[in-house]
Amino acid sequence: MHLSLMNRVQVMLLGFVLLGRSLEEKARIRASSDMNELLALMSTQSRLVITSSDSNSPTENVLCSDAICTEVPTDDVRVGDTVLVLPGESIPVDGRVLAGRSVVDESMLTGESLPVFKEEGLKVSAGTINWDGPLRIEALSTGSNSTISRIIRMVEDAQGSEAPIQRLADSIAGPFVYSVMTISAATFAFWYYIGSHVFPDVLLNDIAGLDGDPLLLSLKLSVDVLVVSCPCALGLATPTAILVGTSLGAKQGLLIRGGDVLERLASISYVALDKTGTLTEGKPTVSAVASISYEESEILQMAFAVEKTASHPIAKAIVDKAESLKLTIPVTRGQLTEPGFGTLAEVDGCLVAVGSLDWVNERFRIKTKLSDLKDLETKVMYQSSEGMSSSNYSKTVVYVGREGEGIIGAIAISDCLRHDAESTVNRLQQKGINTILLSGDREEAVATIANKVGIESEFINASMTPQQKSEVISSLQAEGHRVAMVGDGINDAPSLALADVGIAIQNEAQENAASDVASIILLGNRLAQVVDALDLSRATMNKVYQNLSWAIAYNVVAIPIAAGALLPQYDFAMTPSLSGGLMALSSIFVVSNSLLLQLHRSETESNR
């Protein structure tokens, strides 16, 4: 009889444990469903376009008359190959549109629901969906180098990294196992040698068998303690929530580089913002050119020569303006760029510097008169303000200096304020986070933008070098604050690396030094995603704390009951099968609670 009963208990125990493991595995598969969706976006086949080497297809024609299309595996496509993508198909490679006009759904990469218009010269990313018309695309990166492959690889790395709180849980789980084994042994010893004699009525309970055997009672209670205890719940509490959080972030266009990043971001008290390319669109244009003694076109031509190979948005604005006027490049050599200050090069045998006023002025022995500099600035700012709302634009003045003459001209650069800049700063402040502005631009331009978005004057820092930006962040950290830095350019890279959390706004899916060192990359190129990332981190950490609280509370309550704490007074004792069921249920609860994070919706998404 005892043997039959024990066999039934063993079968039920194994059944509950296996059922729990099965449900837990299904829940974990659901937790990684967002990553599976990203993997499904990768097209396995591409339509390769083959043309004769001397064929020049007009851009208005998607395919030339002698073109041949053939289906090939996407892995066989090489950089420089041309592929054709028809409406409704997934774009197989990162590339540049050579011909065709269409709209592309990039929501799976950027989180932006509205389709994006694409035409000749614009870039597209692998995994996005072509909607309207056929596109002929030149492959720029393929396979593991494509944007979506890098995203998947980085998210997988993030999911494999441990948050500090996970290490705490792991450090508890180790001693916990030995403690449970000790409690189990103590339970057996107590009930066999003491409890069954002090409380003889407990032998009438079914757990003691028909004969009221104290050995059977002690064995079952000690086994109950071993079975009901659940270190698995402690071990799963953090990684399951991190798994869901990082996957959900990737789906929203937030590339998060690890669980430790989510934990640090959730406790941020300061957010430092760059101006150019962060609060502004990062697409500056030349709005005015002024000169002391040269023609305006000559000033622009010299600046064009110096900035031709520079990567800063202001340099690009100067180059674009010069190219639109079809200006020629003088003989130039020896370019030298000092991030945050300016660029220097030899143009037609003379050194020419383009950059901030003080930096350019210090490059040359001959100094321009202060009155001439003031007149120059007044002139260029007046010209740039004509027909333009000053409150919605950031105006930056870069100066052009020439060897033997000093400063000879100035160029006004205008950049439009991001449409979500003011609302983002306001939302951060409502959450109790202080916002500070760190910019290398002149004080007047920085103050105008800061006032527009609602940053207080005490938190405005202008005319700062990259080193000075880092010093501000270091001083805040020394005061015990957690600081996040938001930037987009190479001059922001030191601050992004130093901050507790570096957040890079990635423009046009291009990687730069900022993206390389940042903890979080905003693939959607929207400042509002900073708040989305903060909300996601807090929601994820809330789940972690809920899971840990449950795991600890469960063991604190379940282990004493399994050890027979209720047996003398209430005649209640667990069976091994019930203990196994509760243990499995505890793990399932932790994983299922983490899955509820998939219901999290960002404020930006909810307001659409």
Instruction: Taking residues 532-545, report their average pLDDT.
Output: 92
Domain spans in the chain, listed from the N-terminal domain onward: 1-34+161-241+538-606, 45-91+94-141, 252-280+418-536, 283-417
Which pLDDT value is given to residue 534?
Answer: 94
**Total length of the chain:** 608
Q: What is the pLDDT of residues 150-191, one digit of tens each?
A: 777 766 665 555 566 767 766 777 788 888 889 999 999 999
DSSP string over 302-330:
HHHHHHTT--SHHHHHHHHHHHHTTPPPP
Which pLDDT value is given to residue 2?
Answer: 45
Which pLDDT value is given to residue 435?
Answer: 94
Which pLDDT value is given to residue 241?
Answer: 85
Which pLDDT value is given to residue 17?
Answer: 52
List the beta strands (DSSP E) in 240-368.
Answer: 254-256, 270-273, 285-291, 332-338, 342-347, 350-355
The pTM for the full model equals: 0.73
Query: What confidence tier does 280 reach under pLDDT thresholds 50, 70, 90?
Result: confident
Judge: domain 283-417, CATH 2.40.50.140.
no
Instruction: Taking residues 216-242, report their average pLDDT.
Output: 83
| CA 473 remoteness from chain centre | 20
pLDDT, averaged across the chain: 81
Instruction: Taking residues 312-335, report their average pLDDT.
Output: 86
Whether 274 is catalytic is: yes
Q: Is the pLDDT of residue 312 over 80?
A: no
Which pLDDT value is given to residue 156?
Answer: 64
The single residue of 274, 492, 500, 532 carrying the catalytic annotation is 274
Judge: domain 45-91+94-141, CATH 2.70.150.10.
yes
Q: Is the pLDDT of residue 268 over 50?
A: yes
Query: What confidence tier does 446 reach under pLDDT thresholds 50, 70, 90?
Result: confident
Instruction: Taking residues 428-437, report their average pLDDT.
Output: 93
The residues, ordered by sequence, that sit 6+ positions from 606 with a Cβ below 8 Å of its Cβ are: none
Which pLDDT value is given to residue 601?
Answer: 79
Which pLDDT value is given to residue 4?
Answer: 45
Superfamily covering domain 252-280+418-536: HAD superfamily/HAD-like (3.40.50.1000)
Q: What is the pLDDT of residues 73-102, one digit of tens each?
A: 888 888 888 899 888 888 888 899 988 888
Q: Is the pLDDT of residue 479 over 80?
A: yes
Which pLDDT value is given to residue 399?
Answer: 92
Higher pLDDT, 341 or 164: 341
Residue with tokens 């063991």: 555
